[in-house]
Amino acid sequence: MDIDLLTEKLSLQVQSFQESFEMLSNSFSISAMALAFEKIIRGNFVTTQTSIYYRFSETSEWESLVSKNDYDFAKISKFDFPVGTKILSDQDSNELVIITKLNDNSALAIILGSRLSGEKYSDIDKVTLQIFVQLFDNASQSFLLRKNEKQLIFSLNNKVAQLNNLIDTGIEISKISIGDELLELVLFRAITLTNASFGRIQQFDENKLVDEIVFPPNIVPGENKVVSQIGYSFNNANYRLELYNKESRSGIIRFDETDELLINAIIKQVESAIENKKLHKEALENEVMKSELAVASEIQKRILPDVLPQIKGYDLAGINIPSKEVSGDYYNVYTLKDGRYAHVVADVTGKGMPASLLVSTLDASLQSYLDMQTPLSEIALKLNSIVFNASTSDRFITFFIAILNPDTGEMEIVNAGHNPALILKNDNSIYKINAGGIAFGMFDMGLPFDVEKLTLQRGERLFIFSDGIPEAMDKDENEYSDERLEKFFTINNELSSNDFINLIIEDVKSHANGEPQSDDITAIYLIRNYK
């Protein structure tokens, strides 16, 4: 063959290979690529017919991409999955067969029918066919890469859309109150994020169905296959979320791990929203409580005395140590118009604003009755009625009052359910003052309050206190006790009133040994001097 003619022929084949690759690479599917390949083969080999078959994998069957001949399919069906490339030629029928394994582990089979010219297939034809098959393989890889790239871009875009949708879901959930509207939003968003066709949420009380929400409405989920089901609970209720028929480009598919993550993320958002609403509510309540405590503290500061009056011939001291921001205890020493002094210690059940208001009511009423020089027994009855009508059934006030005539040492005393006050006699014995009745506010039945009259002799000491002293506890809940208090009272019989108050507080704290103060501590200590 003339060298120029051979060169021209090879040049045309190279150009044909390039054009063939571009044509195959621009195909949008394996089937379209096979049709283009069939045209390329027929144009280069001028055959009577060309059949192309394809196997997706070793476990699949041969399928026809291009064929009009059942005989060819029967012939190809007998071949096993190739491990490489096999070329067969039939001299009698003048056919050329190539079976090859492609780079993606699929397989391609091509049957070239006889040439229209009647010529036999040469070795060069076999090599040329192999080159074309290689072009098909390379083009198919390029096609698959583009397909995977498009799928990846679609998947990434879908994930971005899901993420944005999830963020929007969190914002919407945070704005909605707990109830059916929230459940409807959860269901709608779960369907949207997972591409489900429809779904439902069922609410259970133990194992009993109490409510059901379906979206879209009028769908009967029982008639379809459940492909996703997640149980969860919030706000003290149990729920089951069911999603049906996940849609895709290729039809109904299975839900995957991403769908489960998205649903769980929505549920977490609901739980966070509920917890945030709860914390916000608690924060508001705490602010209200702080405001109430501030007001209660201000009320208490106005009621409790800054300085106790100086009584000629007597040594007087008092103290109030609250266990919390606002004390439930109350004390005061009133100077009366007739020259007497009213020593008062009270203990209100409860703390905070209600207790402070009750103490304020007691203080105002008591001052009014004392100024009017109302008899002590009558004052006690009136105060009991006022506290009973001003408080709830779980609130009452223990109350102790001793009205002193400083010239004679005579005292009128009422003890309404309070700890017995103690008098340390000159012989170092203790007298307990129990006179009185029930605590104020427990009953309003007109029951009388006994008034005890006694005289505080020169050198004798009166100690009025609240239960915060004898009931102070250590880490093992052992109380300071009345016995220890009385012993301390008798031993420290030479101290001034102020020194005694300070020392007994130190002794109580020593007993508690660092434990938080369990109750308010209030006390009045009065000494009648010898001169």
Work out the number of other CB atoms within 10 angstroms of the CB of residue 455. Answer: 12
Please give the DSSP secondary-structure letter assigned to residue 47: B
Return the ∠ at Cα 529 (arms to 341 and 417), rounded to 5°: 45
**Do 176-277 and 304-528 show the same overall fold?**
no
Task: Specify the amino acid at residue 152.
Answer: L
In CATH terms, 3-147 corresponds, of 3.40.640.10, 3.40.50.2000, 3.30.930.10, 3.30.450.40, to: 3.30.450.40
Q: pLDDT tens digit string along 179-207?
A: 557 777 777 777 777 788 888 878 787 77
The tokens for 191 are 């369907």
Of all helices (H) and strands (E), which one includes residue 22?
helix 3-25
Q: Kind of pairing, strands 410-416 and 436-437?
A: parallel
Q: How confident is the prediction for the chain on average, in pLDDT?
A: 80
The reported pLDDT for the residue numbered 401 is 95
The pLDDT assigned to 471 comes to 92
Number of Cβ within 10 Å of residue 460's Cβ equals 17
**CATH number assigned to the domain covering 304-528:** 3.60.40.10
Q: Could you tell me the two tokens for 409? A: 């040492």
Q: Beta strands of 360-409 (E only): which ranges?
A: 397-404
Angle, in degrees to the nearest 10, between helices 3-25 and 123-175: 20
Nearest by Cα to 424 from 327, 525, 345, 297:
525
Q: Where do the structural domains in the chain lie, given as residue ranges?
A: 3-147, 176-277, 304-528
Query: Secondary structure of 215-260 in the HEC alphabet?
Result: ECCCCCHHHCCEEEEEEEEECCEEEEEEEEEEEECCEEECCCHHHH
* Cα–Cα dist 255/257, whole Å: 7
What are the DSSP calls for 501-517, one per residue?
HHHHHHHHHHHHTTPPP
Q: Is 284 helix (H, G, I), strand (E, B) or coil?
A: helix
Predicted pLDDT at 298: 65
Q: What is the pTM of this model?
A: 0.52
Contacts with 113 (C-beta within 8 Å, 6 or more apart), sequence order: 47, 48, 49, 50, 51, 95
Strand partners, 107: 55, 101
Q: What pLDDT score does 130 carry?
A: 84
CA–CA separation, 93 and 261 (whole Å): 61
Residue 470 · residue 435 · CB < 8 Å? no
Burial bucket for residue 289 (CB in 10 Å: 0-12, 13-18, 19+)? middle
Q: Which residues of the chain have pLDDT under 50?
A: 1, 6, 10
Please report, as a single letter, which amino acid is at residue 12. Answer: L
The CATH homologous superfamily for domain 176-277 is: GAF domain (3.30.450.40)
Residue-level pLDDT at 489:
95
Checking phi first, is residue 179 left (phi over 0); if not, alpha (psi -120 to 50) or beta? left
Contact between 417 and 358 under an 8 Å Cβ cutoff? The reply is: no
Q: What is the CA radius of gyration of the chain?
A: 50
DSSP H or E segment with residue 461 = strand 461-465
CB atoms < 10 A from the CB of 390, how many? Answer: 16
Q: What is the pLDDT of residue 389?
A: 87
- pLDDT tens digits for 127-139? 888 888 888 888 7
Report CA torsion sign: 64, 65, 67, 72.
negative
Name the nearest CA neighbour of 470 among 480, 460, 458, 461: 480
